Amino acid sequence: MAHVEVDFERCEGHGLCEQAAPEIYRLDDDGELELILEDIPQELRTRAEAGARVCPVAAIRITG
């Protein structure tokens, strides 16, 4: 199991992570990022990393 960590202080709600991996990242109606999955199975790790890579403020970290 890998783990997705978001620095919510840093997140500016650009939503690029959601575009890259909508099964993991979602912006709510107020434009706040919500994690659909925090603990992700290994088969979703590449998807989670794709979201982290496109984040313009590097607010996402995948661990584990």
Site string (1-40) toward ligand SF4, x via CB under 6 A: -----x----xxxxxxx-------x-------x-------
Annotate 14-40 with b (16+ C-beta within 10 A) or e (fewer). Answer: bbebbebbeebbbbeeeeebebebeeb
List Cα–Cα distances, 57 to 1, 15, 42, 62, in angstroms: 25, 11, 24, 15
Q: How far is the CB of 24 from ligand SF4 (least distance, A)?
A: 10
Site string (39-58) toward ligand SF4, x via CB under 6 A: ----------------x-x-
Number of residues this chain uses to bind ligand SF4 (CB under 6 A): 14
